[in-house]
Amino acid sequence: MRIVVLAGGIGGARFLRGLLAAAPEAEITVVGNTGDDIHLFGLKVCPDLDTVMYTLGGGIHEEQGWGRADETFTVKEELAAYGVGPEWFGLGDRDFATHIVRTQMLSAGYPLSAVTEALCARWKPGVRLIPMSDDRVETHVLVETDGERRAVHFQEYWVRMRAAVPAHAVVPVGADAAKPAPGVLEAIADSDVIVFPPSNPVVSIGTILAVPGIREAVAEAGVPVVGLSPIVGDAPVRGMADKVLAAVGVESTAAAVAAHYGSGLLDGWLVDTVDAGAVAEVEAAGIRCRAVPLMMSSLEATTQMAREALALAAEVRA
Ligand code: GDP
Ligand code: CA
Of all ligands present, the nearest one to the C-alpha of 7 is: 1
Residue 55, pLDDT above cutoff 90 = yes
Q: Average pLDDT in the 164-175 region? A: 94
| pLDDT (tens digit per residue) in 230-263 | 999 999 999 889 999 999 999 999 999 999 999 9
Residue nearest to atom 2 of ligand 1 (CA): 9
Predicted local distance difference test score (pLDDT) of residue 284 = 97
Q: Average pLDDT in the 119-138 region? A: 98
| pLDDT (tens digit per residue) in 10-48 | 999 999 999 999 999 999 999 999 999 999 999 999 999
Residue 102 CB neighbours (<10 A): 23
CA 211 – CA 209 distance, rounded (Å): 5
Helices (H) then strands (E): counts for the chain: 13, 14
Amino acid at 108: A
Q: Check pocket membership of 48 for ligand 1, CB cut-off 6 A.
A: yes
CB 260 within 8 A of CB 250: yes
| pLDDT (tens digit per residue) in 302-316 | 999 999 999 999 999
Percent of the chain with pLDDT over 90: 95
Predicted local distance difference test score (pLDDT) of residue 145 = 86
Predicted local distance difference test score (pLDDT) of residue 35 = 98
CATH superfamily of 2-134+177-317: CofD-like domains (3.40.50.10680)
Cα–chain-centroid distance for residue 52?
9
Q: Check pocket membership of 18 for ligand 1, CB cut-off 6 A.
A: no
Which of 10, 155, 204 for a ligand 1 pocket mutation test, highest count of atoms within 8 Å of Cβ? 10
Confidence of residue 85 (pLDDT cuts 50, 70, 90): confident
CB 288 within 8 A of CB 267: yes
Percent of the chain with pLDDT over 70: 100
Considering only CA atoms, which of 277, 279, 253 is closest in space to residue 268?
279
Q: Check pocket membership of 294 for ligand 1, CB cut-off 6 A.
A: yes
Confidence of residue 285 (pLDDT cuts 50, 70, 90): very high
CB 293 within 8 A of CB 15: no
Predicted local distance difference test score (pLDDT) of residue 174 = 97
Confidence of residue 146 (pLDDT cuts 50, 70, 90): confident
Q: Average per-residue pLDDT in the chain?
A: 97
Phi-psi category of residue 66: left, alpha or beta, with phi > 0 → left and psi -120 to 50 → alpha:
beta
CA 228 – CA 243 distance, rounded (Å): 19
CA 71 – CA 94 distance, rounded (Å): 6
Q: Check pocket membership of 199 for ligand 1, CB cut-off 6 A.
A: yes
